[in-house]
Amino acid sequence: MRRIRFKNAHIEHLRRNILDVVLWKTGCYDDPHPKLPPPASFCYPASPKLLNQEEPKAVWIGHSTYLIEVGGLAILTDPVWDSYCSPIPLRSLKRITEPAIALSDLPPIDFVLISHNHYDHLDAKTVAILHRFHPQIQWIVPEGLSPWFTKRGIANVVELSWWKEFGTPQCTLTAVPAQHFSGRTLWDQNRTHWNGYVIQAAHKQLYFTGDTGYNEKDFKEIGQRFRSFDLSLIPIGTYVPKKFMQPVHVSPREAVQIHQDVHSNLSLGMHWNTFRLSDEPDDRPPYDLYLAMREKKLPFETFLPVEIGTYVNF
């Protein structure tokens, strides 16, 4: 029986192969005007408000990993604590900033949301430790990914296809579209799907984009269906060179467009300052976010490039 390969609804020819990577690394995809580090004097012109520990809050642990605490629940997104985001320890894929919280210091975790199976979003070592420390976790994953967990002795897994919900008395989790791809080997490309997620709990509504490129339809539809978000977690890194990265990752300019499309009251950046996966300078994403917010004349405090380890109320 032929296994399904998932596709993106609004773009074709998205997959990248080894030849594409070689072309990128040899300069064939280079942008005509390379991005430089931001001015030495640059400081993003807004910062989080003073933290209230009693209110719902989120902390960026690194890359696409956030710990969200809302309505008595603790939720993790794409947990990766390993030092490398690869099946073998390649120096080029070594972590450049340490996780903000040690795995042993996490509170009891209720839900873990997995956006897709790439190594920088699904880490086997982290999953094993979380399962050992927190066997009560309910894992929420895209279509086709539950067998990966079953092989590791983890049974408390729910697969969600786009627009499907998983509900408890405390919250509702909905899988929503993203524009990306999947695969952990050369032979399993797009055999499992990729999701974003909406979290509804304690009269709050949150959006985790997962890993995604931008298109004119999916994010506007998410905004139309859910009306507004108290908090959105949106990537702002891994966007250079544009020709290679744009189909599957958003630039800060496109992140701001998502922020607007989904009517987010507050957005926080992710997917930067943790692993070197692209060619923009490590400190460039906050500056490009600043330029995009200034161009759109949006309040800077509504989209923050927080530092790893920063807690933010929403």
Mean of the pLDDT values across residues 277-286? 96
Most confidently modeled range among 19-28, 29-38, 286-295: 286-295
Cα torsion angle, 173, 176, 180, 181, sign: positive
pTM of the model: 0.96
Give the per-residue pLDDT at 1. 43
Say which residue the tokens 């405090």 belong to.
301
Whether the predicted pLDDT of 277 surpasses 50: yes
Check residue 116 and give its pLDDT.
98
pLDDT at 84: 97
Give the residue from 155, 157, 221, 232 showing the smallest Cα distance to 199: 232
**pLDDT (tens digit per residue) in 171-209:** 999 999 999 999 999 899 999 999 999 999 999 999 999
Mean pLDDT of 242-247: 93
Q: Are 236 and 285 in contact (CB under 8 A)?
A: yes
pLDDT category at 12 given cuts 50, 70, 90 is confident
Determine the structural domain holding residue 137 and report its residue range: 53-185+195-313
Residue 242 lies in a domain: yes
Classify residue 154: in a domain, yes or no: yes
Q: Assess if residue 152 is contained within a domain.
A: yes
Asked if the model's pLDDT at residue 283 lies above 90, the reply is yes
Q: Is residue 251 part of a domain?
A: yes
Total count of domains within the chain: 1
pLDDT digits (tens, 9 = 90+) for 83-131: 999 999 999 999 999 999 999 999 999 999 999 999 999 999 999 999 9
Structure tokens given for 165: 């919900």
Higher pLDDT: 154 or 22? It is 154
Query: pLDDT over 70 for what percent of the chain?
Result: 99
Residue 17 lies in a domain: no
pLDDT tens per residue, range 31-88 = 888 888 899 999 999 999 999 999 999 999 999 999 999 999 999 999 999 999 999 9
CATH of the domain at 248: 3.60.15.10
Per-residue confidence (pLDDT) for residue 15, from 0 to 100? 64
Report the mean per-residue pLDDT for the chain. 95
Closest to 188 measured CA to CA, from 89, 85, 117 = 117
Lowest-confidence segment of 1-10, 27-36, 143-152, 168-177 by average pLDDT = 1-10
Is 236 inside any structural domain? yes
Query: Which residue from 118, 119, 160, 155 is spatially nearest to 140, judged by alpha carbons?
Result: 160
Asked whether residue 5 is domain-assigned, the answer is no
Joined tokens for residue 40? 């030495």
Q: How confident is the model at residue 259 (pLDDT cuts 50, 70, 90)?
A: very high
Residue 111 lies in a domain: yes
The three state secondary structure string of 10-37 is CCCCCCCCHHHHHHHHCCCCCCCCCCCC
Whether the pLDDT of residue 139 is over 50: the answer is yes
What's the gap between Cα 221 and its chain centre?
Answer: 19
Average pLDDT over residues 272-298: 97
Q: What is the largest CA-CA distance in the chain?
A: 60
Residue 149 has pLDDT above 90, yes or no: yes
